[in-house]
């Protein structure tokens, strides 16, 4: 079992770095936010339990935006985010005097999926995606997208409006964050979307790559063409940027004042040192090692603020440049 191996590896890591975790910590670490980041955080929390059994870690799911609302209300210590913090949220944090530290934890390729039995869709172009998903879209049948596809009513599944995946997708495809046709099955929980698409022949949905990875046998991945041929998302194409424009980094945000609690500090450190292994285990693409190292330095030095302002494009090159 892959799971057992990873557990063994992690145990080894924790034994080797035993000195760092020797002291038994107590206390609580609370996370909330994106369902896209949830699998990584859940895995980290589960493994952290093996090293620090007295620390209580809770991981909730309420979408990136919903999570930020709780984070900025001081209800949680760490927020899982599948998009960078927004200007509005930064301003709010500033007003309330909350310092936050931004830590990229992995890459995600936003995946378009159809039902396993769907035999007509081979790829979709970015223009076709926009045609389907833009506000006021007139696409109701598959045949409206490309001639030759069946005259069947298309059923759409996508993340809810509080999700960073939604923000990112609408911004990239429709040009404006939040601009989307509303008549689709929306859920903050990507599991619901997987259930929907896997059970419905005429469905089309989008969500984080990890949820495709975890449900490969039930879904069919759709290649995306932005002009230089169709590309399927996968570890290589997401990492080297050829799967575009739908690949992006995902983050956790830590409240600066929470880092004064040793258990939060230990958890953050643990998160960054194990993110690479655990992220790939749950279906994400790990960042280069030096990014994690820099991120650890960030929490040690308590460097607050975001590297992403609304005019900076979210891609791998920028992520590295700003670290």
Q: Is 27 near other proteins (CB under 8 A)? A: no
Q: Check if the beta carbon of residue 267 is closer than 8 Å to that of residue 29.
A: yes
Q: Which range of residues in 33-41, 80-88, 257-265, 298-306 is near other proteins by CB under 8 A? A: 33-41
Q: How far is the CB of 196 from other proteins (least distance, A)?
A: 5
Structure tokens at 37: 């980041």
> Cβ closer to other proteins: 66 or 109?
66
> Cβ closer to other proteins: 62 or 306?
62
Among 56, 130, 220, 294, binds other proteins (CB under 8 A): 56
C-alpha distance from residue 204 to each of 98, 137, 311 (Å): 40, 15, 30
Structure tokens at 123: 């790829």
Residue spans of alpha helices (H) in 73-140: 87-95, 126-133
Residue 183 has a CB neighbour count (10 Å cut-off) of 10
How far is C-alpha 121 from the chain's CA centre?
25
> Cβ closer to other proteins: 43 or 275?
43
Q: Is 200 near other proteins (CB under 8 A)? A: yes
Q: Check if the beta carbon of residue 210 is closer than 8 Å to that of residue 108.
A: yes
Looking at residue 243, the DSSP 8-state letter turns out to be S
User: Strand 247-255 to strand 78-81: parallel, antiparallel, or no bridges (unpaired)?
Assistant: antiparallel
Among 9, 125, 137, 195, binds other proteins (CB under 8 A): 195
Structure tokens at 70: 């709780």
How far is Cα 81 from Cα 89, in angstroms, rounded to an integer? Answer: 12
Q: Check if the beta carbon of residue 39 is closer than 8 Å to that of residue 190.
A: no
Q: Is 39 near other proteins (CB under 8 A)? A: yes
Q: Which range of residues in 61-69, 91-99, 117-125, 284-292 is near other proteins by CB under 8 A? A: 61-69
Q: Is 11 near other proteins (CB under 8 A)? A: no
Q: How far is the CB of 23 from other proteins (least distance, A)?
A: 18
Nearest to 77 by CA among 35, 36, 45, 39: 45
> Cβ closer to other proteins: 169 or 243?
169
Q: Is 52 near other proteins (CB under 8 A)? A: no
How far is Cα 164 from Cα 237, in angstroms, rounded to an integer? Answer: 21
Residue 96, classed as helix, strand or coil, is: coil
How far is Cα 230 from Cα 41, in angstroms, rounded to an integer? Answer: 32
> Cβ closer to other proteins: 125 or 152?
152
Q: Is 69 near other proteins (CB under 8 A)? A: yes
Among 191, 280, 315, 318, binds other proteins (CB under 8 A): 191
Name residues contacting other proteins, limited to 123-182 (CB under 8 A): 135, 155, 160-163, 178-180, 182
Among 94, 122, 175, 199, binds other proteins (CB under 8 A): 199
Q: How far is the CB of 61 from other proteins (least distance, A)?
A: 7
| Residues found near other proteins in the complex (CB under 8 A) | 1, 3, 28, 30, 32, 38-39, 41-43, 45-46, 49, 56-63, 65-66, 69-70, 73, 75, 135, 155, 160-163, 178-180, 182-189, 191-192, 194-196, 198-200, 214-215, 218, 282
């Amino acid at each position: 079992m892959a799971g057992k191996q990873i557990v063994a590896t992690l145990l080894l890591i924790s034994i080797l770095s035993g000195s760092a975790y020797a002291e038994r910590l107590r206390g609580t670490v609370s996370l909330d936010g994106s369902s896209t980041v949830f699998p990584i955080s859940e895995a980290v929390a589960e493994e952290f339990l093996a090293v620090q059994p007295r620390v209580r870690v809770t991981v909730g799911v309420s979408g990136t935006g919903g999570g930020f609302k709780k984070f900025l209300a001081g209800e949680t210590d760490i927020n899982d985010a599948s998009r960078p913090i927004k200007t509005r949220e930064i301003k709010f944090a500033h007003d309330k005097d909350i310092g936050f530290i931004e830590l990229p934890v992995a890459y995600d390729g936003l995946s378009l999926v159809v039902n396993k039995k769907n035999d007509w869709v081979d790829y979709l172009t970015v223009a076709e995606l926009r045609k389907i998903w833009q506000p006021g879209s007139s696409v109701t049948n598959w045949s409206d997208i490309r001639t030759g596809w069946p005259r069947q009513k298309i059923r759409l599944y996508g993340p809810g409006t509080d999700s960073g995946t939604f923000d990112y997708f609408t911004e990239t495809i429709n040009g404006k964050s939040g601009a989307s046709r509303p008549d689709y099955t929306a859920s903050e929980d990507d599991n619901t979307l997987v259930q929907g698409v896997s059970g419905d022949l005429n469905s089309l949905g989008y969500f984080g790559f990890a949820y495709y990875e975890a449900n490969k046998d039930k879904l069919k991945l759709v290649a995306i063409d932005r002009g230089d041929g169709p590309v399927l998302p996968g570890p290589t194409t997401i990492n080297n940027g050829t799967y575009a424009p739908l690949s992006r980094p995902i983050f956790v945000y830590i409240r600066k004042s929470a880092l004064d609690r040793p258990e939060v500090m230990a958890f953050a450190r643990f998160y960054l040192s194990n993110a690479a292994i655990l992220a790939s285990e749950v279906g994400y693409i790990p960042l280069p090692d030096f990014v994690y190292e820099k991120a650890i330095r960030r929490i040690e030095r308590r460097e607050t603020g975001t590297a992403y302002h609304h005019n900076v494009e979210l891609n791998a090159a920028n992520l590295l440049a700003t670290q």
